Amino acid sequence: MFGHMSIPSPRGEREKLITALTPQLRRHLKIRAFEHGMDIQDATEHAIKAWYEADGLPEVKTDGAKTWGTFLPAGEPDNFKAVCAERGVTYVQGLAQALSLWLDNHPSPTAPLVSQPVVRVIVANQKGGVGKTFISSGIAQALAEAGHRVLIVDYDPQGHLTAELGFEDLMYEDDVETLLMHMEGSAKGDIHDLLVALDQDRFGERLHLLPASDDAFLRDVSLSKVSFSEAALERALEPLEADYDVIIIDGPPSLGLNMDTALYYVRRREGELADRSGVITPVWANKASHRAFRLLRKQMDDLCSKGRIQVDYLGLVINAYDSRRGKLVKENKDQWEKSSSPGVLAVIGDLKEGREASDGEIPLLEYAPESEHAQAMRDLAKELAV
């Protein structure tokens, strides 16, 4: 697959190259570019230029490649296409060779070259029931299991995450300050006092939860009275950021001010690399998910335009997929997988372990650590450049 479109850019006129890339190669590129203080777009441009000068390169495995796009200087997509034709390779193979060569020539530095803010991710979709809590909790568990310090924030007023991790009682405590109070500026205490730790050995005391509270349903109304309300979540969580490598927000099933504050929180900060913090959207292989995604995308675009900010889309996760549900389900899945911006990070089957862990109020990786569901979460966690 190959195509391109022109856009104006601070780097000059650029055209989009649409081809395909294996998840493994994409993940290695993302991490290595981060380690060298580059964004993925610049790394890819340098990789293709070096590939033009190289010859006799070995074939790279491209099984499982998924649609992927990047912007190159005007004319470069056509130039790349012509060189691929001369060498008798597909565009997918040509890009794989170029990126593999770049990775070989740019090994991991012994120390990070740039200091970056804490990684901030919201798992968001205004449609309920698509697996936001399952995905956000699973990624957080996998990151903590791998040695990262992780905070997961239950930002959904329904509090499913808090309940499913066994802390439902905390939602209804009296005379306790809440996240909303810290967002409003009315809290007197330290926000650290709201946190609870998951005590399973596999998480090594690295996984903490900021529980939901029963005043969260009032958040939209309350925030409308707060000055510069979009930054309210950031102001509340800022004292926690130095303690964590990753902060994951389990987003609300709505598109109001509540969502705006969360999207603003995961925006690309000054000096932060692209595609590091941002949005992951769980979807189902049905028409309703396509409609819901368009609404979320519109809200993101409006916020970015009005606030003059950039919010990166980290990708989609097709959840609860079962090919036995018929032709329309497969067609909807195929439609999602044709998306390159954002691309599909994973397809997760409709398996029982996630439901059983939720019903038993046990973290998935503790309940079924060897399951396909658990491994899918570990693979997703590797997508984040932490």
Q: What is the pLDDT of residues 143-182, one digit of tens each?
A: 999 999 999 999 998 999 999 999 988 887 877 899 999 9
CB 266 within 8 A of CB 384: no
Looking at residue 113, its pLDDT comes to 56
What residue spans define the domains of the chain? 6-105, 119-381
In a 3-state reduction of DSSP, which class is residue 339?
Answer: coil
- Which DSSP letter does residue 127 get? S
What is the three-class DSSP state of 271? coil
The whole-angstrom separation of Cα 144 and Cα 245 is 10
77 contact partners, CB below 8 Å, separation of at least 6? 2, 4, 15, 16, 17
Q: Which of 62, 64, 63 is nearest to 100 (CA)?
A: 62
Q: What is the per-residue pLDDT for 82?
A: 95
- Give the per-residue pLDDT at 340: 64
Question: Helix, strand, or coil here: 308?
Answer: coil
pTM of the prediction? 0.78
CATH fold of the domain at 6-105? Arc Repressor Mutant (1.10.1220)
Which pLDDT tens digit goes with each residue over 234-271?
999 999 999 999 999 999 887 788 899 999 999 999 88
- How far, in Å, CA of 367 to CA of 138, rounded? 12
User: Residue 269, by phi and psi: left (phi above 0), alpha (psi -120 to 50) or beta?
Assistant: beta
Nearest to 315 by CA among 255, 383, 256: 383
Share of the chain above pLDDT 70, in %: 93
Contact 23, 94 (CB under 8 A): no
Residue 385: pLDDT band with limits 50, 70, 90: low
73-120 per-position pLDDT tens digit: 989 999 999 999 999 999 999 999 999 999 999 988 876 556 788 999
Per-residue model confidence (pLDDT) at position 6: 37
pLDDT (average), residues 276-296: 86
**Residue position matching structure tokens 């060498």:** 87
Q: What is the CA radius of gyration of the chain?
A: 21
Q: Which superfamily does 119-381 belong to?
A: P-loop containing nucleotide triphosphate hydrolases (3.40.50.300)
The mean pLDDT value of the chain amounts to 87
DSSP 91: H
Question: For residue 2, what pLDDT band results from cuts at 50, 70 and 90?
Answer: very low
